[in-house]
Amino acid sequence: MSNFYQSSLTLRGGRYVGRGGDAAYGITNTGDDTVLRAENVVALGEGGMANYALANGEAVAYLLGGHFTARGWGDTYAIFNYSGSTLQADGIVVLSESAGTYSRALQNSASEATLNGGAFTAFGGSDARGIFNYHAGAVLRAVGVTALGQDSVQFNYGLYNKDGVEAYLQGGAFTGRGGTSANGLYNSDENTLLEAHEVAALGEN
């Protein structure tokens, strides 16, 4: 399912699947003034060299409930929010698994993401991150979310906050488990801000 350039798309329920090839997309939402509203959808990208349940680029996406899954032998990004996009999500379940190298439940790159509840889980590969907030200008606001990076052979993070970004957390649980390095919360680089209130963070091998 593709929504492109100044279009508005509303989805209520349904299953959207992309499979195989160089890149497998369940849903793409891209281009200036492009808006997606999705309620209780199931989106899956699998079996490609790169896999995305939802790719939101230079666009706006409002998500209410639903399941977003990326899996396969390539890199997996269940939700990829990038290039000045806006993502608002309430109570979604996001899973990245069976990655070859990079496993990301949510990657927020130079964009804004507001999360109310929801579960963000990344398994496998050599680098698993439940939430990856990255690249200057990225802003993450999360209330009561659960973020888990687990079972990568090397690096596992609940939230990885890096490269001049901002993250504001209220409640929630952030866990990195397994591999050679595990962190519930990881905050790095100049001009990077993390504010966390009443959160639980755990890193364990």
pLDDT tens digits, one per residue of 95-121: 999 999 999 999 999 999 999 999 999
**Per-residue pLDDT tens for 19-48?**
999 999 999 999 999 999 999 999 999 999
Q: pLDDT tier at 59 (50, 70, 90 boundaries)?
A: very high
What are the residues whose beta carbons fall under 8 Å from the beta carbon of 172, sequence distance 6 or more?
A: 142, 143, 144, 145, 146, 147, 199, 200
pLDDT tops 90 at residue 73: no
pLDDT of residue 70: 98
Cβ–Cβ < 8 Å for 122, 147: no
What is the share, in percent, of the chain residues with pLDDT greater than 90? Answer: 99
**Number of Cβ within a 10 Å radius of residue 94:** 29
